[in-house]
Amino acid sequence: MDYEIVIGLEIHTELKTNSKIFCGCSTKFGSEQNTNVCPVCLGLPGVLPVINEKVVEFAIKAGVALNCEILPFSKFDRKNYYYPDLPKNFQTSQYDLPIAVNGHLDIEVNGETKRINITRIHMEEDAGKLVHSGATISSSDSALVDYNRTGVPLLEIVSEPDIRSAEEARAYLEKVKAILEYLDVSDCKMEEGSLRCDANISLRPHGQAALGTKAEIKNLNSFRSVQRGIEYEVIRQEEILDDGGRVIQETRTWDENKGITASMRSKEQAHDYRYLPEPDLVPIVVDPARVAEIRANLPELPDARRQRLMNDYGLSEYDAGIITSSKAVADYFDQSVQNNGDAKVVANWLMGEVSKHLNSEGITILDCPVSPKQLTELLTLIEKGTISNKIAKTVFEEMWTSRKDAEVIVKEKGLVQISDSSEIVAIVESVIAANPQSVADFKAGKDKAIGFLVGQIMKQTKGRANPDMVNTLLRERL
């Protein structure tokens, strides 16, 4: 049977605050285990939480950027469940009155724009972290608990089940991440758990209105995992349904090494959590004037920035989209252009040599050893004709490892381009004299022969000869 894929995503993002949501403990990542804790976030008897005002501000900012309605009255609730990383035996979250509702986000996949509706955005506290003895939960015989993450502020962004493929899910997650980065409300470091995603997947026969039974893949922490996990789960459910079986509503985990999902537990319903209003926190009343102020002061967001790069610099929609998909990359681009760099050349280098080196070392643009100013200086040397584009790539390699400026490397290694026509003519004539067969081939109409001769000239000059002058002078002599 031909099935329609139905996907909804629950995106969890840790907010970029200095302190936790209900206490003054630090949110710093990587601290020694169980040191960023206090009686409040450990849930000891007799303590009272106090809401972090910055969390509310960041939630409103995210809600406005994601086209949500900000509710004037919202409250916190207790979500009751037992798990070793939850010291209170309940999570303080929001249930029936979240901070933001009814949003949407437009994504582009395969040249088409699609709107994904957003059900709600709510604030909550993160749980602690279980460190398992094995590579996966199922292969572990013990676990240790680090409560440093307990009480770190989270936003949960819940989409409607409007997503119809793994590619759409990835595009949606990537765009939400970009918006959160532009807002500067989260660092979105997926490798550190600052941004993670639960995917709810179900299948139904095409044309059927009722949704199928869903399975949830928990805690996907990379774009690749989201796409691969969904693709696997779709195949798994198709096989069950085609065999006449029934998909079980459950929570599953993604095993990155094996490339499969595995059952964790039956999927809970809302009533299983026994939600009740949080008696220790007053409701949140949001002044519409405050929402208007936040809306008026939103930074330039990815779509607007992409349009600006297209309008101001003539970049293609594809190039502008790639650059603006990451705020850090877009900032690097803008800084390079502000240093008098040619926008299109900067874009080509960003998506070429810079990206290649970042990917090979598994780092982001924030850790790039070549600054925007240094890149612009390198491109200026090309523009002036001091070095060729080919030599520039060699210089860039050296800049990456040595952290030296381009001009210093060019002088130290004697890489200044030869643009003296008399010097090039002498080399051209010697190459012509040494390769009579190639000369004869060229005169016989074999244009490819000139490529060999150019190669010999560049070899003699160690790549330093001006390639345009070489081609012109060689053809003149021939």
Strand pairing partners for 202?
Answer: 6
Question: What is the gyration radius of the CA atoms in the chain, in angstroms?
Answer: 29
List the structure tokens of 463.
């790549």
Q: Which amino acid is at 6?
A: V
Q: Which amino acid is at 96?
A: D
Pick the residue with more confidence: 420 or 176? 176
Residue 127 has pLDDT above 90, yes or no: yes
Where would I find the beta strands (DSSP E) of 212-302?
215-220, 250-255, 260-266, 276-277, 284-285
Structure confidence at residue 429 as a pLDDT band (50, 70, 90): confident
Report CA-CA distances (Å) from 320 to 105, 177, 181, 225, 326.
19, 17, 17, 26, 11
Map tokens 């900012």 to a residue. Answer: 61
Say how far apart CA 343 and CA 322 lie, in whole Å: 14
Q: What mean pLDDT do residues 355-367 have?
A: 94
If DSSP codes are grouped into helix, strand and coil, which group holds residue 174?
helix
Strand pairing partners for 146?
Answer: 129
Query: Phi/psi of residue 409, each to 5°?
Result: -65, -45
Pick the residue with more confidence: 391 or 15? 15
Q: To the nearest whole percent, how much of the chain has pLDDT over 90?
A: 74
Q: To the nearest whole percent, how much of the chain has pLDDT over 70?
A: 98
For 181, counting Cβ atoms within 10 Å of its Cβ (0-12 exposed, 13-18 middle, 19+ buried), the class is: buried
List the structure tokens of 184.
């500067």
Q: Which amino acid is at 194?
A: S
In tens, the pLDDT along 132-165 reads: 888 777 788 899 999 999 999 999 999 999 999 9
In tens, the pLDDT along 192-222 reads: 889 999 999 999 999 999 999 999 999 899 9
Nearest 5°: the CA angle 75, 80, 86 is: 105
Residue 420 has pLDDT above 70, yes or no: no
- Dihedral angle over CA of 79, 82, 84, 85, nearest 10: -10
Q: What is the pTM of this model?
A: 0.85
Residue 417 has pLDDT above 80, yes or no: no
Say how far apart CA 351 and CA 369 lie, in whole Å: 16
Q: What mean pLDDT do residues 331-359 have?
A: 93
**DSSP for 179-207, written as a single string:** HHHHHTS----GGGTSEEEEEEEEEEETT
- Dihedral angle over CA of 161, 254, 42, 145, nearest 10: 180
Q: Which H or E element spans position 116?
A: strand 112-125
Structure confidence at residue 268 as a pLDDT band (50, 70, 90): low
Say how far apart CA 71 and CA 99 lie, in whole Å: 6
> What does pLDDT average to over the chain?
92
Say how far apart CA 94 and CA 74 lie, in whole Å: 8
Map tokens 């279980």 to a residue. Answer: 130
pLDDT at 121: 98
Q: Which amino acid is at 207?
A: G
Lowest mean pLDDT of 158-172, 410-424, 435-449, name the range.
Answer: 410-424
Residue 68 has pLDDT above 90, yes or no: yes
Chain centroid to CA 6: how far? 24
For 330, counting Cβ atoms within 10 Å of its Cβ (0-12 exposed, 13-18 middle, 19+ buried), the class is: buried
pLDDT at 191: 87
Q: Which H or E element spans position 391?
A: helix 389-402
